């Protein structure tokens, strides 16, 4: 039988893990075992934080809308209620951008209610 040299697949796998761990601190970027452990945690956090990002952004939009509404003597909850009552379909992201960048337009929206 001919001789079979082993290890090419394992070497590829280890190199792939180290490639993913590029930019990590200390030995986590150079040592396979530490890199593998660090990636397990990093991928867990990245998965959950992709979902958390949506929550955080929505809260930020609500804060911006609330601040702009209070400048125009209206609370956030009353503003949202009036918008729904008038069938004005602006989501919170767009409303917060208008409130932040175009305060005159936001004032016109409030005056139209």
Residue 28 lies in a domain: yes
Does any domain span residue 35? Answer: yes
Residue 61 belongs to domain spanning? 8-112
pLDDT digits (tens, 9 = 90+) for 62-104: 999 999 999 999 999 999 999 999 999 999 999 999 999 999 9
The CA distance from 4 to 43, in Å, is 35
Contact 69, 61 (CB under 8 A): no
Residues with Cβ within 8 Å of 37's Cβ and at least 6 positions away in sequence, in order, are 28
Confidence band for 5, pLDDT divided at 50, 70 and 90: confident
Within a domain: 105: yes
Task: Determine, yes or no, domain membership for 91.
Answer: yes
Answer whether residue 103 is part of any domain. yes
Per the structure, the count of domains in the chain is: 1
CATH of the domain at 75: 1.10.1900.20
Residue 2 lies in a domain: no
71 located within any domain: yes
The structure tokens listed for 83 are 């918008």
């Amino acid at each position: 039988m001919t001789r079979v040299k082993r290890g090419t697949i394992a070497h590829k796998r280890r190199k792939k893990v180290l490639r993913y761990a590029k930019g990590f601190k200390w030995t986590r970027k150079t040592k396979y075992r530490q890199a593998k452990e660090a990636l397990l945690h990093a991928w867990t956090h990245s998965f959950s934080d992709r979902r958390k990002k949506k929550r955080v952004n929505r809260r930020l939009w609500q804060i911006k809308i609330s601040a702009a509404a209070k400048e125009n003597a209206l609370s956030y909850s009353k503003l949202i209620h009036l918008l729904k009552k008038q069938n004005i379909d602006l989501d919170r992201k767009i409303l917060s951008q208008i409130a932040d960048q175009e305060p005159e337009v936001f004032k016109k929206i409030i005056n139209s209610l």
